[in-house]
Structure 1
Amino acid sequence: MSIRDETRNCWKLTPEESRGLREFITALVLNGQVTAEVSGLRPVDLYVLNLLDIDGRSTPGELAQRTALTTGAVTKLVDRLVRLGLVQRTHDTDDRRRVWLTTTEQATRNIGEGASLFSPIARRMDDLISSYSDEHRAVIFDFLLRATEELKEITSALQEQRTGQRARIRGGAH
C-alpha cells in the first residue's frame, strides 16, 4: 500500500467527497483572484474590502489579525485603498488614538451586496441555494458557519506558528 493510500484511508470523507471539497475551495480562491484582477485590485485588497463591508468598520490591528498580515503590510494596504477612494480612516470620538476603517460609497457600489462586481457569483449562488428545501438550506448554512469557524481557528494556529518561527529565527540571528 502506498503512502498516499494509507493517508487516504485515515479520512472519513470518500475520495470523491474530498476531491469535490478541494475543487470547491480551489474554484472559490480562483474566482476571488480573477474578480480582483478584473476590478484592478489585488486579491488581498478585495478580501479586506469584503471584511470591512461585512463588519461595517474595523481597526488596522483587527484587520492584521483577520488577514494574517503584519501591521506594516496592513498600513501599506490601507494607504493604497485610501488613495483609490475605497477606504476612509476616521478617528474614534472617544479615543483619538484609535482609527476606524470603513468602506466608502464607491467601494460599496463596487463590492457591497448587489454590487455589479459580485453580481454573477451572488446571483448564481442565490439561485443554487434557493433550489434547496428549507431543511437542506439549514444544513448548508450550518456547514458554512461551522466550516468558517474551523478555518478561522486553523488560520489562527498557523499565524501563531509562523510568529513563533519568526521569533526563533530572529533570536538565533543575534
Structure 2
Amino acid sequence: MSPKPARACAIADLMRAGRETARLSMVFRYAIAERLGLTVSDLECLDYLADVGSASAGQVAERTNLTTGAVTSMLRRLQQAGYVTAERDPADRRRVIVTLRPERTAELGRPYERFAAQAERLVEGYTVEEIELLVRHYERMQTMYRAELDHLSG
C-alpha cells in the first residue's frame, strides 16, 4: 500500500484540526455562556454587538441565525439583564436599534482574558505574512459558512 501524498495528508490534517478547533470553540462558548448566566445565542448576540457597536434587531437575527421572534425574546432578556438598550430607529420607527451597554463590556470580556493573553502570545511568533494568510483563511471560511447557512435556510 502506498503512503498518501504529502499534500493529501496535510489537507486531511488541516481539516481534522479545523473540526477539532471548531468543536473546542463551541464547547468554550457554552462554558463562557454558562458562567455568565446566558445562552450561547445571547453570548453570540453580545459578541456581535461588541464588534459593530449597534445593529438593528433584523441584523442580529441574521447574524445569529435566529427567527425574529426568538431575537425579540432574546433582546428582551438581555435588556432586562442590563446588557443592551433597544431603541426605536428615529428614521424608521418599525426598526429597533440594539446597542451593547459599554459599562457591561468589561464584565463580558473577563472570562476571555486568559485565553486572549495566550492567543496574543501565540501569534507573537508569527510573521506578518503568516498572520495575513490566517486572516485570508478565516475570511474565506466565513464566506463559506454564510453561503451554507443561506443554503440551509433557503
CA distance in 1, matches of 2:119, 2:140: 19
Q: 1:27-106 alignment to 2 at 5 Å?
A: 27-106=24-103
Secondary structure at the aligned position of 1:117 is classed as: helix
Paired residues, what number?
147
CA-to-aligned-CA distance 1:6-48 (integer Å, 9 cap, x gap): xxxxx89643322211111111111111111111111111000
* 1:164 equivalent in structure 2: none
CA distance in 2, matches of 1:13, 1:156: 30
Give the structure with the higher percent strand: 2
Q: Partner letter of residue 24 of structure 1?
A: T
CA distance in 2, matches of 1:157, 1:12: 30
Unaligned runs of 5+ residues in structure 1 are 1-10, 161-174
Identity percentage over the alignment? Answer: 28
How far does residue 105 in structure 1 lie from its aligned partner after superposition? Answer: 2.2
User: What is the root-mean-square deviation in Å for CA atoms of aligned residues?
Assistant: 1.7
Q: Could you state the TM-score of these two structures normalised by the residue count of structure 2?
A: 0.87
Secondary structure at the aligned position of 1:74 is classed as: helix
Q: Could you state the TM-score of these two structures normalised by the residue count of structure 1?
A: 0.78
